[in-house]
Amino acid sequence: MTSREIATIRRIALLFREHKDAILRNWIAIMHREGLFQDNRELEYFRHGFEKLLNDFITHLGQGDLEAYYRGNREIACQISYNDISYEHFIEAFHLFEDSYMDILSATGEGKDVCGCLSVIDRLHHKTIAIVAQAFFEIHDNTVFALTKLAAIRDYGTGYHLERTREYATLLAKEMHPEGDFARLMYRVGPLHDIGKTGIRDAILLKEGALTPEEFETVKLHTVIGAEAIEQIIGTHKLSRGYLKMAWEIAFYHHEKYDGSGYPTGLQGEAIPLAARIFAVADVYDVITTARPYKTGASHAEAVARIEAGAGSHFCPAVVAAFLRIHEEFDAIRLRHQDQVAVF
């Protein structure tokens, strides 16, 4: 962070110190309202974790000590994991932190620059999400798919998006690479593609109407946030290949376009990793055919036509050719997951 951002964080820490009790009361009230406590025992785990989060914010960030704050994040994640609180539940509670102090921030001297303050706090939250993801990965190495349901839980309008896109992408991977582990790895990591949405505020992610240009720019950050979370694990474990490397490639690059007009980097052609080129077709097919609050789902035939038309511009021509050979299997997956309850 820049010196200016750290100065902003220090001011916010002082504000939190003055209003600590009110923020805690607000957070617990919001949690009760949302029905996020299973029982009083779970309430105490969350209360303890949230008090530590707030105290660390006040103590460490009040001194501009980001590293000490992040160490505290990891301690919280480990404690909640050891007490068998699900990662999904933790993230739901964590995202209510913002609601607990929003009114206080707006009503004080910092209120004149609420957007600026929130932007800096969001950067802290993104790092926290990466740290917590890493801690849960180390403690529960067998929960990759459960981890990826975070985005789907918050963006509930996507239905069985993770299940469908995982199967679509695996089909394409098998068609293009029938030998070796490529398709198996695709099946394992495909659901991680939207994990970065856990770092996007609900007011934007769950908005039913059209996004403003500024809001869309924020949504686009989910590629960077997701890649950073996975990169934390890769960096710690010194991985140069395997499923997490593929997971990083998909999370970061699945919105790139073959002609270079995509995001976040404008990469083009075969410089885009094959796994991401494959997942782009799987993801867009699902977006086209799935109804959302702001649109109706298109037919399978229309999706096929649009993907075929996008060969060479949006999509890799080789991936589109593979899709056209097996598109009827996509339709079967789509129909199977329309009404079926997902099994994990």
In order of start, what are the domains of the chain with their CATH numbers?
3-139 (1.10.490), 144-339 (1.10.3210.10)
Candidate from 17-21, 162-166, 233-237 with smallest mean pLDDT? 233-237
Model pLDDT, residue 17: 93
Residue 237: C-alpha distances to residues 5, 116, 203, 204 (Å)? 30, 35, 35, 33
Confidence of residue 210 (pLDDT cuts 50, 70, 90): confident
Q: How far apart are the first and last CA of the chain?
A: 39
Q: pLDDT value at position 289?
A: 94
Q: pLDDT per residue over 96-126, tens digit each? A: 887 888 888 887 755 557 777 878 888 888 8
Taking each helix axis from N to C end, the angle separating 317-339 and 274-289, rounded to the nearest 10 degrees, works out to 40
User: pTM above the 0.85 mark?
Assistant: no
What per-residue confidence (pLDDT) applies to 89?
Answer: 75
How far apart CA 111 and CA 115 sit, in angstroms, is 9
pLDDT above 90 for 75: no
**For residues 218 and 204, what is the distance between their CA atoms, to the nearest angstrom?**
8
What's the CA gap between 98 and 307, in Å, rounded? 39
Amino acid at 226: G
Model confidence at 340, in pLDDT bands (50, 70, 90)? very low
Q: Round to whole Å and give the CA distance between 245 and 250.
A: 9
Give the contacts of 287 (CB within 8 A, at least 6 positions apart): none
Residue-averaged pLDDT of the chain = 83
